[in-house]
Amino acid sequence: MLTNEKNLKAMKGKGTTMREELEEVVITDEQAALVTEWLEANSKVPGWLDGYALGQSYIDSRVNGGRGITARRRYVSLDHRVASAVPELRGFRASDIREFVDERNQAAIPQAGNEAGFRA
């Protein structure tokens, strides 16, 4: 079992705000990097695109161009690529995924007293 998994299980039920459906999800560091990239892009996207769940964004066929269309197309492409690479998180909103990533990162930090040779 990975150290991350052990720490996540130890934290389970200790006042976390993560959705229950995400508590058993385990992702690799590569997947986490992709998800973090998606979260950063999601926070910078202007307008309605940032409201879609992972893998659900799209550009309406009636939109042929206009200001910002290139950035929106890049975001939609990233959104679909991340959803394919991390299907366990597909359909969750950015706020839920941000909570999941925060919990995962917190679990990666060794808890005081858990390391061999450390005296509290």
Burial string for 72-97 (b: 16+ CB within 10 Å, else e) reads beebbebbbebbebbeebeebbbebb
Q: Which two tokens stand for residue 57?
A: 């964004």
pLDDT given at position 12: 47
In a domain, 66, yes or no: yes
Segment-wise mean pLDDT, segments of 10 residues, the chain, 120 residues: 44 58 83 92 73 85 74 89 93 89 78 49
**What domain range includes position 61?**
22-108
In the chain, how many domains are there? 1
In a domain, 63, yes or no: yes
Given the structure tokens 């990239």, which residue do they identify?
A: 37
pLDDT given at position 13: 46
pLDDT given at position 119: 47
In a domain, 37, yes or no: yes
**CA proximity to 88, closest of 21, 38, 41, 43:** 21
Whole-prediction pTM value?
A: 0.69
In a domain, 6, yes or no: no
**CA proximity to 84, closest of 25, 18, 31:** 31
